[in-house]
Amino acid sequence: MKALVLAIIGALALGGCASVPMANADLDAKAKTFVAPGTGHATLYVYRNESFGGAIKMSLLLDNVAIGDTGPHTFVMRDMTPGKHALVSKSEKDDTLEIDAQDGQTYYVWQEVKMGVWAARSQLHAEDAKTAQEAIRDCKLVQ
């Protein structure tokens, strides 16, 4: 079993990085201004700021609608209406985070990558603005 785990880690390290469509530099820079959303909206940032599991892209769903795939050092930004939402990170074992979005608020979620049995797993963590914004500045916006 230990040899299998080491082989998987080695393959992931040598396998390169997951390729996801990236936004242009202007949109990336604008997203990193962290401007508060207008009335009737909330903003969601989901970021993945680590290299672990770099060969794996992970899909995100917001209320069962695909909002993008993340790779290492990437982030997704989406507009939400106020109210209850379910954010799902698709992996070997899906993880769900419930968000009760308030008007004019911004929400930050860290998508942590973990080792699974057959494939990578993930876990979603609500983060504070300061920690998240610092991490997001080192990431690139997904289209």
Rounded to 5 degrees, φ, ψ at 105 are: -100, 155
8 A C-beta contact, residue 25 and residue 60: no
Number of domains in the chain: 1
pLDDT tens for the chain, 143 residues long, are 554 443 444 444 434 456 776 778 999 999 999 998 888 999 999 999 986 655 578 899 999 999 999 999 999 999 999 999 999 999 878 999 999 999 999 999 999 987 766 667 788 999 999 999 999 999 999 98
Half-sphere exposure of 102 (CA within 13 A, CB side): 3
Identify the DSSP state of 68.
E
Neighbour order of strands in the sheet with 121-127 = 121-127, 106-114, 42-48, 74-80, 140-141
pLDDT of residue 92: 79
Q: Which domain holds residue 102?
A: 2-141
